[in-house]
Chains A and B, each alone.
Chain A
Amino acid sequence: MDDITVLKLKGISKTFHGVRANSDVDFTLKKGEIHALLGENGAGKSTLMNIISGLLQPDKGEIFIHGKRQKIQNPRRAIQLGIGMIHQHFMIVPGFTSLENIILGSEPIKGVTIDFQQARRQIAILSDDCGLSIDPDAVTEDLPVGIQQRVEIFKALYRNAGILILDEPTAVLIPQETDTLFKILRKLVKKNISIIFITHKLQEVMQIADSISVMQQGVIKGVFSPEETDEQALAELMIGREVLLKNDYLPARPGKIVFEVKKLTVMNSRGYEAVSDVSFRVREREIVGIAGVQGNGQAELSESIAGLRKIKSGEITLSGRRMPALNPRKMIENGLAHIPEDRLKHGLVLPFSIADNQILCTYYRRPYVHFFGRNPKAILKNSRKLINRFHIKARGPEEAVQNLSGGNQQKVIISREFSRDSSFLIANQPTRGLDVGSVEYVHKQLIMLRDKGLGVLLISSELDEILSLSDTILVIYRGRVCSIVRKEDATMESIGRIMVRGFE
């Protein structure tokens, strides 16, 4: 490995509305290395990378590229300097083909039109060069996530990027896809491309990185090579206190069936079958986890169960009663609690107060209404009680939910859903985007609820989460349940394989 520095940051600071996202950050990237930037959600990693890729301007500090001081005013400049950024949420235009997405912004021109022939040739050359294949005419929104990511990598390579920044690239991938990605990265490094790899996953860092910078609350806590450190040390540095990496919960003592789905078939918004012939049951005091790569029908499954999406055929039974489709209120009144996947869109009304959000599903019932209409006293009383019980950090029940942090917003949803007298809970991606402390909190609450006697359906693309919480694990692949495993018999590898292929 060469010891040439390609990128150097000195004293970078950035403040948002009085909150320090980065303070006095130094960072060095050497040619042909994979440098991991490790930190938990909200540590300031993305801010730092957005500064490098020209989306943000630092308040203070200097950036050197190949030893020369540079000012990166906008993404265009970053591209010129050979910096390619692969965002966590892909920057791909959904209706475009791979080809169109790759050339967007750097289109080869012939006369007045785009020279598609030339573009095709260039992509073919790149393909051979790096051993990456891609179908230029596929519409990107129809491609699997792993391939979409490859389109993103192509976008950077097409612009001759020498520095590649990947922001949480494995967050949406399954283990096998992650392995493929790592192979690709290794190949790219051999072509003298330098890579910054942003993540909060410790094992990955140990597996792929040549050097590791740990970031906590906007500050770089140290730079290591994987040989001189271990996961436990990195975790403590990253979180700032001692943590348990493994949760060991008491096993469940399942009771009678509270929820059952029989031969459920659901269409997606585009009119294709997204859930096909799915059957399963959830018992009292049991967590059933649904593992699967995102986009294999989980969203449609949970929406149809919650009464938000039409079902084509099949039946849903809750607490022994068959449920009508498309009637969320009936489901709720029969004992459904629901932590929705998109909490900002479905779970909360952002401009509303905490108090109003906490009665969002019961606003029409006593004591929240009385003869003259709504009963603000009862609503506030309920809210104060819940704020105390669930430790929500807020100025008071009247504070607007949009002013809260992500973790506290999730707590508002949990306080609402867990305080109702329910018998069955769907939790869809309940910890996505939360910091470690909040994740722990949510996990504990789920287990507590289970032990209280509820049946829980946990849908998550984090395999760790599924494995550590669930008593029974279902694997969903292309809308079908492909495997039902007891917790004791499940391993990361076997489930990962089913997640990609549908069988072991």
Chain B
Amino acid sequence: MIATIRSFIIPVGSVIFASLIGGIVLFLSGSDPIEAYAALLKGAFGSMTSITRTLVKATPLMMNGLAVAFAFKAGLFNIGTQGQFIFGAFAASVAGFFIQGVPPVFHIFLALIAGGIAGGVYGAFQGALKAYSGAHEVITGIMCNYIAINITDYLVNHPFRDTSPGNIVARTPLILETSYLPDIEGIPGGFLISLLSAVLVWWVLKHMVLGFEINTVGAGPDAARYSGMRVQRILLITMLISGTLAGLGGALEIQGVEHRFQPGFHTGLGFEGITIALLGRVHPFGIIPASVLIGAMKAGANMMQFSAGVESEIIDIIQALLLFFVTAEVFFKKMIPGMRWQKGEKLSLRAGWGGKV
């Protein structure tokens, strides 16, 4: 019981504090924080359309949050979800316009699978680098993000450019309608798939042998080796699955929203995934509300910019603050003196460069 309360206090408290300080920043920069937040809320939840928009925005966030959280369980910091997401999106869009003449449901799944595989392979590449060479996944992940941006930029400019007359923008052709994700009962299909993914991730981590292995590698890598687990392979598989989740997120975004790949979309998503994973206490079911929250911020940002004249980058600042408060448990410990804390709740990441795996 106490544990449940505790797992709510920190995220909720973080949101409150981050918004407060964000409000101060707004005030100092000459905006009315109340007006801005009101516009934000209205933009996010004010109508059915805006709620749908929030859910649409939450979809890629949830997938990235799940990807980051999944890697966290093995002690890996997958900051490369952005690159995996981009490759996933690109592969899905290629599958979306390239494959023709298949029935709709089938096409949807083909494109999703293409996206998942592209993200997964890229994630596995980073996992292999970590597992077999010891290169730190944060640096390689960021490098891989830049590489993914460059490669897709090239592909979109040359081999896969939309050559329809009148187009001067570097982008792929529109995907076929057979690969569009439908809305189901007014809820975006992509959001439903991401909910399903959250349940799957929970099942794998909680009830599958692989989940036990991943948790062991994260909580005690040496003990994992001692007990006969193949740590390197588990790290690789973890990154493969994490990358698949991110890539799937990219595919959902293409098939559900964008319908074509255009360079420069969704930069910074990898960092948002980290915030969401931690805000959701690295638990799949915590990530669902966390991504809806951040999704709401993004959905409301336009309205805020439009009616309160506030630059939408304030969202980034609030997110950085959120990340700070979620991680700074000490802060809450001091505030709530009666609370007992258990060591095991702390996130265990590998310290240092980890040359040896």
Contacts and interface: CB of A to CB of B under 8 A. Distances in A.
Nearest to A345: B222
A332 interface: yes
B353 interface: no
B228 A329 contact: yes
Contacts of A38: none
Interface stretch (B79-87, B323-331, B342-350): B342-350
B207 interface: yes
A145 interface: no
Contacts, number: 75
A361 B225 CA distance: 10
9 contacts: A345-B220, A345-B222, A350-B220, A361-B228, A372-B207, A373-B203, A373-B209, A400-B342, A402-B344
A345 B221 CA distance: 8
B220 A361 contact: no
A347 B226 contact: yes
Interface residues of B, number: 23
Q: Which 10 A-B pairs have the closest CB atoms?
A: A329-B228, A351-B344, A349-B220, A373-B207, A328-B228, A360-B227, A346-B226, A373-B208, A345-B222, A361-B227
Contacts of B209: 363-364, 369, 373-374
Most buried by B among A340, A351, A363: A351
A347 B225 CA distance: 10
Interface of A: 306-308, 327-332, 338, 340, 342, 345-352, 356, 360-361, 363-364, 369, 372-374, 400, 402
A369 B222 CA distance: 23
Contacts of B226: 306, 308, 328, 338, 340, 346-347, 360
A360 B343 contact: no
A350 B348 CA distance: 11
Interface in B209-235: 209, 211-213, 215-216, 219-220, 222-229
Contacts of A352: 215-216, 219-220
Given A373-B209, A374-B212, A348 B223 contact: yes
Given A328-B225, A329-B228, A400-B344, A350 B216 contact: no
Contacts of A369: 209
A332 B344 contact: no
Contacts of B343: 350-351, 400, 402
A374 B216 contact: no
B52 to A, nearest CB: 35
Given A346-B225, A349-B223, A374-B208, 20 more contacts: A327-B228, A328-B227, A329-B229, A346-B222, A346-B226, A347-B223, A351-B219, A351-B348, A352-B219, A360-B223, A360-B226, A373-B207, A373-B209, A373-B211, A374-B209, A374-B212, A400-B342, A400-B343, A400-B344, A402-B343
Contacts of A308: 225-226
Given A351-B343, A364-B209, A374-B208, A345 B223 contact: yes
Contacts of A356: 212
Nearest to A349: B220
B88 to A, nearest CB: 27
Contacts of A363: 209, 212-213, 227
A342 B222 CA distance: 10
Most buried by A among B203, B216, B220, B225: B220
A277 B213 CA distance: 36
Contacts of A307: 228
Contacts of B344: 350-351, 400, 402
B284 to A, nearest CB: 16
B21 to A, nearest CB: 32
A346 B228 CA distance: 11
